[in-house]
A and B are shown apart, each in its own frame.
Chain A
């Protein structure tokens, strides 16, 4: 009798996968929307695409409360120090999605004032192509990121060895 109860009511898992399951289904994004991609990101949040279906409706504009930085739009040389600062303010664990061509590579703006890809300076986990990406594309990128979060190893979060 007791045996059966345990079988039907208790799930055994590892701590790692339980934590990852929780993390990946409740990512709190912080949109760093600067340009056109910011508008498309609004479309991702709005009724038709609705990112809430993937557990990411809690948009936080404070870096200290979020764990996913979505860089949407071109980053100028004046903005880059701000972006670096915001990235540093997000507590671990944190992930970065580079949305659109401009954030990933500079896009069409091959000029003196646009950073040619934010990944030169901050680590990026998922790149979403498009100028701007369709909302479906962003959702695809988001699912890819969820897979990534699901595969995290807790052991990786040991502090870095002193250099």
Chain B
């Protein structure tokens, strides 16, 4: 197992390096000059501008610039925000926990809901439960998160007044009341994200389960006289979950997309809303850093999924 994990880790590193190269190349090829504001500033003579360029290494060839940038990123140095002049890593450390908390909870809920629903749907194929679940999953899958989010605000904040419209990071009320306020404001963003993921995962779980329960070994398990519960949970489900784990990992990039949008709708102060405000402010270092961090998280979750896959399906380790 250790060897398998090490091998996976070793393939994750080149992927990360390649992603960083792609992102850096996009930036290097992009038009626009980081010193453009000096060009129109009459108090900065051209020769000073040249000197700044030189001191910042902007005239170096792309591979040199890439190496410098990449080595500082590995050390956790993402440079300074153009906007707030503070280190980008500080900004991100403030924002990352909120995003991970919202995404993580949403994903956990989605998995906990989707797997039982998908399994029951498949076991009772064409039943009322299955029809309702499949239809709802289809609708949930086709509802974009930005529309669900707006509908939730319309219904639960504007009409019913149950939940606050806007997420506040600065709740400092003590005790249970403060805790409740913190939970209350997270309910809508988490539900919006969880709804979409549940819909997608239910469909996959059902499909995978349907394929499994018609296998010969499931019939054998029944023939041995095992109870239906044992047949489904121990013989069918465990095998059906293997492709579902892959799907869960592959949909991680998608949930970051959802997070960017949900954070924007509910003004959750996370990475996604930082990204959008950075784009509106032309704050390139922040944009680069967030894109890199999102990629790193995607690679990390893929790695975790690969390891889980190895645990669930011992054949994978020996391929």
Task: Please say whether chains A and B are actual partners in one complex.
Answer: no
Q: Which residues of chain A have a CB within 8 Å of any CB of chain B?
A: none
Q: Which residues of chain B have a CB within 8 Å of any CB of chain A?
A: none
